[in-house]
Amino acid sequence: MKIRLLDIAHARSGDKGDTANVGVIALRPEWYSLLVEYVTRDAVRDHFRGEITGDVDRFELPNLNAINFLLHGALGGGGTVSLKTDAQGKVYSTALLRMTIEVPDADAAGLDLPGMAP
C-alpha cells in the first residue's frame, strides 16, 4: 500500500550553512519501523532530485522515534548569501512529508495505518 509520510509522521527543518537539516518523527511509536525501513537516504535523495546539489546523510534516533536527514547543497550557499526564497530551509520538512512510501501489506498489517480497513 502507498502511504504518505504526512499521515504517519511530522517533521521540522532548518539550516546550517548550505545544508538543510530535516527531522522526521513518527506520530506513533509503532510507525517508527516504517520510517527506518522505507525512508532511506536514496529515497530522500530521489525525492529532492533537482533541488539539492549534494549528498544526503541519514541518522536514526530510535529514542525519539525519529530520523534526521542532512541535505547538502540545498540552500544556495546558505542564509546570508543565498538568493533562494527559503534560505533557511524551513520548507524542506513540508516537502519531505509529501513523499509517499510503498509498504507491503504484510509489513502494514497490525499497525492501524491511516486508510487501512480495520
Q: Domain map of the chain by residue range?
A: 2-78+88-102
pLDDT bin (cut points 50, 70, 90) of residue 90 is low
* Average pLDDT of span 66-93: 68
Per-residue burial over 80-114, b = 16 or more CB atoms within 10 Å of its CB, e = otherwise: eebeeebbbbeebbebbbebebebeeeeeeebebe
Q: Does residue 117 have a pLDDT over 50? A: no
Is residue 26 helix, strand or coil?
strand
Q: 3-class SS at 49? A: strand
Q: How confident is the model at residue 69 (pLDDT cuts 50, 70, 90)?
A: very high
Note the pLDDT of residue 87: 44
Tens digit of each residue's pLDDT (9 = 90 or more) over 9-68: 999 987 777 788 899 999 999 999 999 999 999 999 999 998 889 999 999 999 999 999
